Chain A
Amino acid sequence: MSAAEEVVTEAAAVEAVPKRAMTLGYGTSLVVLAALILTPLFVKNFIIFQMTMLLIYGLAVLALNILTGGSGQFSLGQSAFYAVGAYTSAILMEHAGMNYALTLPVAGLICFGFGFLFGQPALRLSGVYLALATFALATAMPQLLKLGYFEHWTGGVQGLVVTKPDAPFGLPMSQDMWLYYFTLAITIAIYIASVNLLRSRSGRAFMAIRDNEIAASAMGVDVALYKTLAFGVSAGITGVAGGLGAIAVQFVAPDGYTITLAISLFLGMVVGGVGWLPGSIVGSAFIIFVPNIAEGISKGLSGAVFGVLLFLVIFLVPHGARQVAIIAQQLIGKLKKN
């Protein structure tokens, strides 16, 4: 058997998802949007803060979803991009006195470049080997941030404290609420852009690569370019999420961006449904709230309880939230017929 044949017969790493199944219908989208806009008006600041974190991790999961669900490449190194974004925002705000909103595009651009460059060597790797290479990146990142060379800017192990922005134009809103709506606006913009990206020519190229690399290149897709581009876009979005995270948490330190974060994001993507963009927010909710639930059940065994819950989810709904959504849709369809 020739090498080419071997590659062709190898099962695709990620199951093919048709692009229409990647988004929500308009009606559902509007309901979700309304809920996201209205809820903060009725809840405590602490809940608003949690919702902000939900959106931020949702963005990071979405970024991974574009990479894995869209172009079929694995990454366990998203925490590294998240850290670079967070530090970029924090350093620009605290040392250069830049406005917080302006630091986000910078964080996104730097991470895009970083991801694009990282995508170059990663091109030679696929499947589990790529996952390992990105894993190495994630393990290295906290230590790089501690390096003495950068300590003047990064604050070393002590980290940096970030000042939380007030609502502009004297709007009568708490800092938390303002930050929430600010994050929501960015999340919606990035979500719409991502949906459009996946529906565009580039998105089709991503998916062609995911489904069959050789066929894609035979059809004239520049495989190398699009693979690195997917890495760049994913890293860029993760960077913006990281920047927002730094502003919301008001603190960056190397210990906040360990491999655990990368694994959490990966987990969020799987639970939300690989390749289903709205699932990102469900996955994000899972990684934020389920540890709290597990802790509520047993303090000493919180890790084990979390493991059991995760196992149940993977066992009962292996395709994550997407599967739940499809079942719900079918049920509604049946009810309508009756």
Chain B
Amino acid sequence: MFATRKLAALSAAFAIVAAWSSAALAQKKYDPGVSDTEIKIGNIMPYSGPASAYGIIGRTEAAYFKKINEAGGINGRKINFISYDDAYSPPKAVEQARKLVESDEVLFIFNSLGTPSNSAIQKYMNAKKVPQLFVATGATKWNDPKDFPWTMGWQPNYQSETQIYAKYILKNMPNAKIAVLFQNDDYGKDYLKGLKDGLGQKASSMIVAEESFETSEPTIDSHIVKLKASNADVFIDIATPKFAAQAIKKVAEIGWKPTHFLNNVSASVGAVIRPAGYENAQDIISAAYLKDASDKQWDSDAGMKEFYAFMAKDFPEGDKLDGGTVTGYGVAQTLVQVLKQCGDNLTRENVMKQAANLRDFRTEVLLPGIKINTAPNDFAPISQLQLQKFKGEKWELFGDVISADVGG
């Protein structure tokens, strides 16, 4: 009798211990890379090689996390930001991703840059079940939670941008004849697909000319001349900054006056419009989601003032006019929000869960009205853009914020 009672007491004690410890576990759950004082985050950037201009994004993020750490970190944990160089080479990206995951044992990889590099590591990251969070590329394929539940983009993808142009054209110029210039790579083709999908059945009748160019071509003048010959009244300009500036100049030079849509990649006033000449760029239409630091209208904006203060104090060697610093700042703020939402449950699963659970989050470098929203079936954090028209020496926003969610 006594023995049974003792056994009952013992099992009750066990039950209490078990309940208590599982409650404690629910409070604090860690995967590799996390301790009570630290969260290890990996990053891959092209600090050297052909795309080294983008390296500024990684350096901005490092400066921002340093600032967060100096202010006490996130829930008492400091961010240990380990950023490696892949020189924009896919095999090197695989090596660095494996180093981060297997040797440094980071919790996840954040904002790795470049479509080829991210394509190279996507399968590995998903097989290892390590988040590949907020990748720095606009390709549409990152929004594919069904096949790649551990990969998520950040910026609006290319297809949603041209879908927005298509919506605008269908509404305001239903009889437009469209000429398209696009860069012959994944980025250009992604944009083109968005445009065609957006126009739907009318795509084949509305698009009267398509010209592709290689980045190795010294000038794209002959393509512009050919497009003009098609008598199109809408010109969709899908080109990276250098070529976009050439296109704007040439269109003006040969006296072609179409409605000119310029992709967001090349909407920078400092890098594209000024070199192309303000007088040549009047009334060009583009879409944006971030505030442009080279645009004077934001000088007195509270959000941008905060950004300028960060640049002056924590990252004085960085160029605030470089679009990369604004991007790096915005994406780093989004990550901080995700980590705050995670609380003490810092598992890889919960990081993805919280990243897919952003509700109307705003970093103040986003244009007014644009919000970050994600869901378990929506891995495209920013899917809103606003149209803008170039007037005088700056972009003027017009119309409402337009959404277009596209999956990969």
Contact = CB atoms under 8 A, between A and B. Distances in A.
A245 B50 CA distance: 22
Contacts, number: 86
A146 B184 contact: yes
Contacts of A253: 90, 116, 119-120
Q: Per DSSP, are chain A's interface residues mostly helix, strand or loop, or mixed?
A: helix
A295 interface: yes
B286 interface: no
A305 B85 CA distance: 13
Q: How large is the interface on A (under 10, 10 to 19, 20 to 34, 35 or more residues)?
A: 20 to 34
Contact of B90 (A49, A143, A256, A302): A256
Interface string B22-61: 0000000000000000000000000111100001000100
Given A49-B95, A302-B85, A250 B47 contact: no
Contacts of B99: 46
Nearest to B121: A251
B47 A159 contact: no
Interface in B89-122: 89-91, 94-95, 98-99, 101-103, 115-116, 119-120, 122
Given A53-B95, A291-B85, A300 B185 contact: no
B85 A249 contact: no
A336 interface: no
A249 B102 contact: no
Interface in B55-102: 55, 59, 83-85, 87-91, 94-95, 98-99, 101-102
A255 B88 contact: yes
B83 A299 contact: yes
Contacts of A260: 49, 87, 89
A286 B352 CA distance: 38
B216 interface: yes
| Chain B interface category by residue count | 20 to 34
Contacts of B103: 44, 46-47
A249 B94 contact: yes
Contacts of A291: 48, 85, 87
A39 to B, nearest CB: 15
A156 interface: yes
Contacts of A288: 95
A249 B83 contact: no
B47 A295 contact: yes
Contact of A158 (B50, B91, B102, B186): B186
Contacts of B90: 159, 249, 251, 253, 255-256
A45 B103 CA distance: 9
A92 interface: no
Nearest to A158: B186
A212 to B, nearest CB: 39
A177 B360 CA distance: 46
B279 interface: no
Nearest to B62: A299
Given A46-B102, A250-B123, A295 B95 contact: no
A250 B94 CA distance: 9
B124 interface: yes
Contact of B91 (A146, A245, A300, A303): A245
B221 interface: no
B48 A161 contact: no
B186 A156 contact: yes
B301 interface: no
A246 to B, nearest CB: 9
B84 A295 contact: yes
B119 A295 contact: no
A45 B124 CA distance: 13
Given A249-B94, A295-B47, A299-B47, A158 B85 contact: no
30 contacts: A46-B99, A46-B103, A47-B103, A50-B95, A53-B91, A146-B184, A157-B116, A158-B186, A159-B90, A161-B119, A161-B123, A245-B91, A249-B120, A253-B119, A255-B88, A255-B89, A255-B116, A256-B116, A258-B50, A260-B49, A260-B87, A260-B89, A261-B89, A288-B95, A291-B87, A295-B47, A295-B84, A299-B47, A300-B47, A303-B48
Given A249-B90, A256-B89, 10 more contacts: A157-B186, A159-B90, A251-B123, A253-B119, A255-B88, A255-B89, A255-B116, A256-B90, A258-B89, A300-B59
